[in-house]
Amino acid sequence: MLLGLTLSLPAAARAADGVLAATLDNGLRVLLLEDHRSPIVSFQVWYRVGSRNEQRGATGIAHFLEHMMFKGTPTQGRGQFARLVEQNGGQDNAFTSQDVTSYYVNIAADRLDLVIELEADRMQNLLLDPKEIESERQVVIEERRTRTEDDPGGFLGEEVSSIAFKAHPYGYPIIGWVEDLRRITPAEIRAFHDVYYVPNNAIVVAVGDFRAEDVLARITRRFGRIPQRPAPPPVLPVEPPPNGERRAVVRKQAELPIVYLAWHVPNQKSDDAPALELLSTVLAGGRASRLHKELVYRRQLALDAGGDYSYFSLDPNLFWFWATAMPGQTPETLEKELLAEVDRLRREPVTAEELERAKNQIEASFAFQEDSIHRRASLLARFELIGGHQLKDTFVAKIRAVTAEDLRRVAGAWFPDDKRTVGILLPKP
């Protein structure tokens, strides 16, 4: 391609972890890692946009646009992206989160040029036909019904998030409020695409059986011609500290009561983040974890119980505790026992055995992800999003450095009784 010959290759640096990293002239960030164990490649495009970038009255637009990205361009018709990938033996999918929208294709390495062409084409030339938008609107509304409105856990989680956040858009459901989904216009979706689906707001990550310098040249030829656009607007809202407990009690057709507890906690920019990650594993990391062993196995109060911390969250988020009652158990009992486990974390250091088990679980999970080219690529993208892919090399060391006293201190600092958000789901006949 004559146009491609006029594009100079960006300055690229190969890091100690083997990643070839470069930023194209148009701002596109590219991370490439050779993995020659199998003749396959995982090619991923991560856009720095999710539900945190939405405005009131237009929630769900990021996820809606994810659906529309498969609806064709002037050169590739409706559904042709997925058909071409499948015809060439590949797999493709996408997801939208609070912080990002990610698209991936796992395919034979000798088909990589096809994927580069398809992804660059829809970044720049997406059709967004109003008729297709109207058709897909019903698909998204139905997805919301099955995943949230008809799912007791999803329904309660949405309620808790909405009252936990007063100012920050993390309080919006990723899939959007149904009233917004019915109202969003084609013009708004087009404007959202034009602002956020630009090369200077994207990361391309590829891991697999290729020569990194060759792939960088191919990406530069195809993506490099897409014009850089103005930087998307920053997310400005900062969530103020809670002034007291917040509580939601909802009734829903369900078999059993559910209890959620949530506290505002810092994200990975905080020195407390490794300890919070370890706490979530101590509480909910498998059958030997505290909540499962105590509430599910030993005392048989809960059908399931767990906790979760979003280490990679771009802004401060929530630390969750939850439990689903066994038949005959009350939500009051579950809430009391969950709070007792929180209080135990604040009062007593975890045992040496628990601490070492949790550290081993996190390190093993981290190591196992290296067995998959798809997961290797995803990890590189996630660390790049929070500050740089090189942070991946220090993650396990930070986890290993956490002490039992750190866990007790962090639980005391971030799980105060008067700052929690509580959600109770009561089954209705």
Strand-by-strand arrangement of the 302-309 sheet:
246-252, 421-427, 258-265, 317-325, 302-309
* CA angle in degrees (0–180, nearest 5) for 297-301-307: 75
Report residue 230 CA to chain centroid gap: 25
Q: Which of 34, 66, 294, 335 is catalytic?
A: 66
Q: Which residues contact 203 (CB under 8 A, 6 or more apart)?
A: 28, 29, 30, 31, 45, 46, 48, 381, 384, 385
Looking at residue 2, what is its pLDDT? 33
Looking at residue 4, what is its pLDDT? 37
Residue 5 has pLDDT above 60, yes or no: no
User: Going by CATH, does the domain composed of 2-223 fall within 1.10.10.2520?
Assistant: no
E-only strand ranges, 25-100:
29-34, 40-47, 91-96
In degrees and rounded to multiples of 5, residue 249 shows phi and psi of -120, 120
Q: Which residues contact 65 (CB under 8 A, 6 or more apart)?
A: 101, 189, 192, 193, 197
Residue 220 has pLDDT above 60, yes or no: yes
Q: Which of 394, 302, 285 minimizes the C-alpha distance to 350? A: 285
- Comparing 111 with 285, the larger pLDDT belongs to 111
Helix (H) or strand (E) holding 13: strand 12-14
Q: Which CATH architecture has domain 246-427?
A: 2-Layer Sandwich (3.30)
Report residue 133 CA to chain centroid gap: 25
Can 2-223 and 246-427 be said to share one CATH topology?
A: yes
**Each residue's pLDDT tens digit, 222-237:** 999 999 999 999 999 9
Q: Give the number of other CB atoms < 10 A from CB of residue 233.
A: 9
**Each residue's pLDDT tens digit, 339-370:** 999 999 999 999 999 999 999 999 999 999 99
- As a whole number of angstroms, the longest Cα–Cα distance in the chain is 73
**Each residue's pLDDT tens digit, 363-419:** 999 999 999 999 999 999 999 999 999 999 999 999 999 999 999 999 999 999 999
* 185-218 residues labelled b (16+ CB within 10 A) or e (exposed): ebebbbebbebbbbbbbbbbbbbbbbebeebbbb
Mean pLDDT of all residues belonging to the chain? 95
| Overall pTM > 0.85 | yes
Q: Which residues contact 51 (CB under 8 A, 6 or more apart)?
A: 59, 60, 62, 63, 96, 97, 98, 169, 170, 172, 173, 174, 176
Euclidean distance between the first and the last CA atom of the chain, given in angstroms as a whole number = 66
Q: Please give the structure tokens belonging to residue 244.
A: 């007291």
**Each residue's pLDDT tens digit, 121-169:** 999 999 999 999 999 999 999 999 999 999 999 999 999 999 999 999 9
The CB-side HSE value for 51 (13 A sphere, CA atoms) comes to 23
66 is catalytic: yes
Q: Give the number of other CB atoms < 10 A from CB of residue 279.
A: 28
Model confidence at 10, pLDDT cuts 50, 70, 90, reads confident
Looking at residue 6, what is its pLDDT? 42
Bridge partner list, 21: 13, 31
Sorted by where each begins, the domain ranges of the chain are: 2-223, 246-427
Burial class (CB in 10 A: 0-12, 13-18, 19+), 238: exposed
Helix (H/G/I), strand (E/B), else coil: 208: strand
Share of the chain above pLDDT 70, in %: 98
- Kindly tell me the sign of the dihedral angle through the C-alpha atoms of 175, 179, 180, 185: positive
Q: Which of 59, 54, 69, 68 minimizes the C-alpha distance to 178? A: 59
Length of the chain: 429
